[in-house]
Structure 1
């Protein structure tokens, strides 16, 4: 039996009907049983403010703990105005503080972006990668997943495209290998 892997999942979209949530759920459903997924809730986090670094904020402490205890983090996100969504940036900032206590240091991070547009939220993905690297995270390089025209791969709220399924299955396998390195 394989050792348990704890994977924190961050979905960068706050929409209830988010296509990124659909893709995240598909990917995590393809992971082996020894990978335990815990979603990091980001919708109700107060905006990061450095004045809070010396205060106890329960929701901040919770996400920091989840990320620190995870063996890796999977981020599945859309793009907002050609960059990462504000809610995603907020949780990244929260988990990077207070100074010297970043939950991101040496953390393995994998990234998937999806968009109904033709660029697949690539700018968002590149910006997340840049931020994570600056926080000393180990960012999974291959395969890079930028799902363009993502809604065309969905039917009735499920990933229906066989081509996309194969692509995401390969990613799920590579993710397990990456975490195990």
Structure 2
């Protein structure tokens, strides 16, 4: 059975972040041949094109972690109807310098959680647009616009009973997406 390493990018730095909790609970729904690495993005310097020729150690680490993965899982809040600045900063760093885009070809899944009724619908759409440009094939369905409310997580930090079936279905589709895209990429490389 092939093993898949998934890079997890959480677009929040808040200690009690719903999206950190969601990411931690979601990875428990994956099969045993999938492992997940939470990428550190809070220590990245602000992106400056002048630094492309001499990227900071933190940026090199980020790009190496992405390169070592067979897929990407983005879990993001929505700030002002878009993605958080810390997430955009990480995306920009790992896509540069031009021609050295670490995101390219990595199958991605996108979801997020917010206290608002529309979940993170607009942030996810903005993120999907960015990932399309960066050539990261992104799973389109099912979409997951999650509202943080009482009972979403159980006492142990797992997905609560009311949302578990839906998110298990999301994870099952993500697994299929990563496997399918990885197989396609491997087939193309063999040609």
| 2:21 matches 1:25 | no
Give runs of aligned pairs for residues 32-51 of structure 1, distance below 5 A.
Answer: 32-51=31-50
Q: What residue is the counterpart of 2:184 in the other structure?
A: none
| Length-normalised TM-score, structure 2 | 0.89
Q: What residue is the counterpart of 2:149 in the other structure?
A: 151
Give secondary structure in 1 for the equivalent of 2:149. helix
The 3 A distance-change label for structure 1 pair 157 and 85 is farther
RMSD: 1.3
Give per-residue Cα distances to partners, 1:38-76, cap 9 Å, x unaligned: 111011111111011001411000101111221000000
Separation in structure 2 between the aligned mates of residue 95 and residue 141 of structure 1, nearest angstrom: 23
Q: What residue is the counterpart of 1:169 in the other structure?
A: 168
Q: Unpaired runs of 5+ in structure 2?
A: 181-191
Structure with the bigger percentage of strand? 1
Contact kept? 2:11, 2:77, Cα under 8 Å = yes
Q: Shift of the alpha carbon at 1:156?
A: 4.5
Q: What residue is the counterpart of 1:92 in the other structure?
A: 91
Give secondary structure in 1 for the equivalent of 2:124. helix
Q: What residue is the counterpart of 2:188 in the other structure?
A: none
Q: What residue is the counterpart of 1:124 in the other structure?
A: 123
Matched residues, number:
179
| Length-normalised TM-score, structure 1 | 0.94
Separation in structure 2 between the aligned mates of residue 40 and residue 61 of structure 1, nearest angstrom: 12
